[in-house]
Amino acid sequence: MKALIFEEFGGPDVLKYQEISDPIIKENEILVRMKAIGLNFADIYRRKGNYHLAGKPPYILGYEGAGVVESVGASVSNISVGDRVAFADVPYANAELVAVPIEKVIPLPDEITYEAASSILLQGLTAQYLTKDSYQIKSGDYVLVHAAAGGVGQNLIQIGKHLGGKVIGLTSTLEKSKAAYEAGADYVCLYEEDWLEKVKEITNRQGVDVVYESVGSTLAASFNATRIGGTVVFYGMSGGDPTPVDPRMLMDTSKTLTGGDLWNVLTSFEERKIRSKQLFDWMIAGKLKVKTPTKFDLIDGAEAHRLLESRKSLGKIILVP
């Protein structure tokens, strides 16, 4: 099979498209012929050597994608050859064929395209657990979303609106603010503005009910933007480490700090099936819209990496074998 591989850490130029051996599946795995592969910042970090990679070169990036089942292991009984499937956390996805453990398989409805699945699963499942497990948004809640133009951010906006929330987005540029508004945000503030004061004005000086905090370095400001008794959901630190939180502050203000990690909730085939079905049902009903992704042939993976790394892209980038 052909795959996008690299043998040393570095920039996009280390990526090579070449022939390697087909994966050999175990009895509890299926072999998937890939139709679309999601590209994520984690792929860039791994290519640079910032994230741990198991094994030895040649390395293969990619963890998210969708395709058709080509063969099944001896112990697999709930998936058949020809089934449409997807996954969000299986390594070596930047290839024509991928061995997928059965517990990580996500059945794909006919109404959901391979491209849409590869554009939504990782960020969409993250937004799903953040709004279901970390904090359940109620009708009338004020919801503050950091990095609102990003993949998770746009999904949080749409789900927040669907659940009856009033959503305030935070973005770094006017162009990105347009994307947040298009996703359905009621208000959008820029980081360069006095966004904390604007949030106070919007909420009549009370503060928001919940903040979805993914920047890290803004954690203290997020608490200041939260009402007495409100919640800050911390799930990322793209802008650097947060300052330590004083538990006395939490006690005095009755505020809650909770964390979240997708891999603590995607623990079985059934969990993946249930959570992805909610995403897919929202998509089929038009309540969660996925923008048309930017597509690159897998052979042009280096160009896709350059675009994502430039932070000039809006929406998902996918690779097509």
Domain that holds residue 177: 139-259
Q: 253 and 149: one domain?
A: yes
Number of structural domains in the chain? 2
Position 216 in a domain: yes
| pLDDT on residue 164 | 97
> Which pLDDT tens digit goes with each residue over 14-36?
999 999 999 999 999 999 999 99
| pLDDT on residue 52 | 75
Q: 220 and 287: one domain?
A: no
Q: Which residues contact 30 (CB under 8 A, 6 or more apart)?
A: 69, 70, 71, 72, 73, 76, 79, 85, 99, 100, 102, 105
Average pLDDT on 254-269 reads 93
Buried b / exposed e over 262-280, threshold 16 CB at 10 Å, is beebbeebeebeebbeebb
Q: Confidence band (pLDDT; 50, 70, 90) for 201?
A: very high
Task: Look over the chain and give the mean of its residue pLDDT values, rounded to a whole number.
Answer: 95
Q: Is the pLDDT of residue 311 over 80?
A: no
- List, as one string, the DSSP characters of 37-86: EEE-HHHHHHHHT-S---S-SSEE---EEEEEEEEE-TT--S--TT-EEE
Chain Cα centroid distance, residue 177: 19
Q: Confidence band (pLDDT; 50, 70, 90) for 315?
A: confident
Tokens of 311: 């932070």
pTM of the model: 0.92
Q: 75 and 168: one domain?
A: no
> Which pLDDT tens digit goes with each residue over 150-172?
899 999 999 999 999 999 999 99
Residue matched to tokens 């503050």 = 144
* Distance (Å, whole) CA 95 – CA 113: 19
